[in-house]
Amino acid sequence: MEHYIVSARKYRPSTFASVVGQPALTSTLKNAIASDRLAHAYLFCGSRGVGKTSCARIFAKTINCENPGPDGEACNCCNSCNDFNEGRSLNIVELDAASHNGVDDIRAMIEQVQLPPTQGRYRVFIIDEVHMLSNQAFNAFLKTLEEPPSYVIFILATTEKHKVIPTILSRCQIYDFNRITIRDMVDHMSYVAKQEGITADPAALAVIASKADGAMRDALSIFDQVAASSRGNITYQSAIDNLNVLDHAYYKKLIDAFLANDVPQALVIYKQIRDKGFDSQFFVNGLALYIRDIMLAASPHTLPLLEVPDQLKTEMAEIASRCKPEFLYKAMDLCNTTDLNYRQAANKQFLVELMLIKLCQPLSPSQSDSGDGEGQLKPIAAFSSNQAPNQAVTYQQTEAVQATAQTVAEPAARPEPTPAVTGRLRLPTPGLSLRKTAHVETETVTAAEPHEIRSTPYTDDAVINFWHSYMQSHSTAHLLVNIMRNCQPERIDGDRFRVAVENDIQISLVNDNLGNIVTYMRNSLVNDNFSLEVALKDGPSSPKTWTEREVLAHMRRTNPQFDAFVDDFNMTLL
Ligand SMILES: [Zn+2]
pLDDT, tens digit, for every residue of 219-228? 999 999 899 8
If you average pLDDT over residues 495-518, what whole number do you get? 85
Q: What pLDDT score was predicted for residue 173? A: 95
Percent of the chain beyond pLDDT 70? 78
If you average pLDDT over residues 392-408, what whole number do you get? 37
Cα 89 to averaged position of ligand 1 atoms, centre (Å): 12
DSSP string computed for 444-483? HHH-----PPPB----HHHHHHHHHHHHHHTTT-HHHHHH
DSSP structural state of residue 527: B
Cα 119 to averaged position of ligand 1 atoms, centre (Å): 13
Cα 370 to averaged position of ligand 1 atoms, centre (Å): 78
Give the residue among 73, 55, 56 at the shortest CA–CA distance from 65: 73
> 101 and 136 in contact (C-beta within 8 Å)?
no
Q: What pLDDT score was predicted for residue 454? A: 82
Cα 91 to averaged position of ligand 1 atoms, centre (Å): 13
> 162 and 43 in contact (C-beta within 8 Å)?
no
416/421 Cα distance (integer angstroms): 11
CA 22 to chain centroid? 23
Q: What pLDDT score was predicted for residue 308? A: 82
Q: What pLDDT score was predicted for residue 277? A: 87
Residues 6+ apart with CB under 8 A from 552: 573
Kindly list the domain boundaries of the chain, sorted by start residue.
7-176, 182-243, 248-360, 378-446, 460-563
Cα 152 to averaged position of ligand 1 atoms, centre (Å): 19
pTM beyond cutoff 0.75: no
Q: What pLDDT score was predicted for residue 544? A: 43
CATH number attached to the domain at 182-243: 1.10.8.60
Q: What pLDDT score was predicted for residue 446? A: 36
pLDDT at 302 over 80: yes
pLDDT at 241 over 70: yes
Cα 37 to averaged position of ligand 1 atoms, centre (Å): 19
Q: Which amino acid is at 511?
A: N
511/218 Cα distance (integer angstroms): 29
pLDDT at 417 over 60: no
Cα 116 to averaged position of ligand 1 atoms, centre (Å): 20
pLDDT band at 513 (very low <50, low <70, confident <90, very high): confident
Least confident piece of the model among 34-43, 345-354, 391-400, 445-454: 391-400
Cα 84 to averaged position of ligand 1 atoms, centre (Å): 9
Right CATH for 248-360 from 3.90.550.10, 1.10.1740.10, 1.20.272.10, 3.40.50.720: 1.20.272.10
Average pLDDT of the chain to the nearest whole number? 80
Cα 86 to averaged position of ligand 1 atoms, centre (Å): 13
If you average pLDDT over residues 153-157, what whole number do you get? 96
Give the residue among 117, 42, 41 at the shortest CA–CA distance from 79: 117
Cα 272 to averaged position of ligand 1 atoms, centre (Å): 58
Cα 532 to averaged position of ligand 1 atoms, centre (Å): 65
CA 561 to chain centroid? 48
Q: Which residues pair with 508 in a beta bridge?
A: none
Cα 87 to averaged position of ligand 1 atoms, centre (Å): 14
Cα 360 to averaged position of ligand 1 atoms, centre (Å): 64
CATH number attached to the domain at 460-563: 3.30.300.180
Within this chain, domains 7-176 and 248-360 share the same CATH topology: no
Q: Which amino acid is at 515?
A: G
pLDDT at 288 over 90: yes
Residues 6+ apart with CB under 8 A from 46: 52, 159, 176, 177, 178, 179
pLDDT at 435 over 50: no
Least confident piece of the model among 253-262, 264-273, 312-321, 449-458: 449-458
In terms of DSSP bridges, do strands 496-501 and 490-493 run parallel, antiparallel, or are they unpaired? antiparallel
pLDDT in tens, 463-503: 998 998 888 888 777 778 888 888 889 998 889 999 998 88
Q: What pLDDT score was predicted for residue 39? A: 94
Cα 566 to averaged position of ligand 1 atoms, centre (Å): 74
pLDDT at 2 over 60: no
If you average pLDDT over residues 321-341, what whole number do you get? 93
pLDDT band at 6 (very low <50, low <70, confident <90, very high): confident
Percent of the chain beyond pLDDT 90? 44
DSSP string computed for 348-359? HHHHHHHHHHHH
**CATH architecture of the domain covering 7-176:** 3-Layer(aba) Sandwich (3.40)
Q: Decide: helix, strand or coil at residue 498.
A: strand
pLDDT at 434 over 70: no
Q: What pLDDT score was predicted for residue 488? A: 87
In terms of DSSP bridges, do strands 531-536 and 490-493 run parallel, antiparallel, or are they unpaired? unpaired
> 381 and 366 in contact (C-beta within 8 Å)?
yes
Least confident piece of the model among 336-350, 409-423, 527-541: 409-423
Cα 67 to averaged position of ligand 1 atoms, centre (Å): 5
If you average pLDDT over residues 452-463, what whole number do you get? 86
Cα 62 to averaged position of ligand 1 atoms, centre (Å): 7
Helical residues (DSSP H) of 100-164, grouped into ranges: 103-113, 135-146
Give the residue among 500, 486, 574, 508 at the shortest CA–CA distance from 539: 500
Cα 76 to averaged position of ligand 1 atoms, centre (Å): 5
Cα dist from 140 to 98, 101, 103, 153, 156, whole Å: 17, 11, 7, 17, 15
Cα 74 to averaged position of ligand 1 atoms, centre (Å): 5
Phi, psi torsion values for 170, nearest 5 degrees: -70, -15
pLDDT at 426 over 60: no
Cα 69 to averaged position of ligand 1 atoms, centre (Å): 9
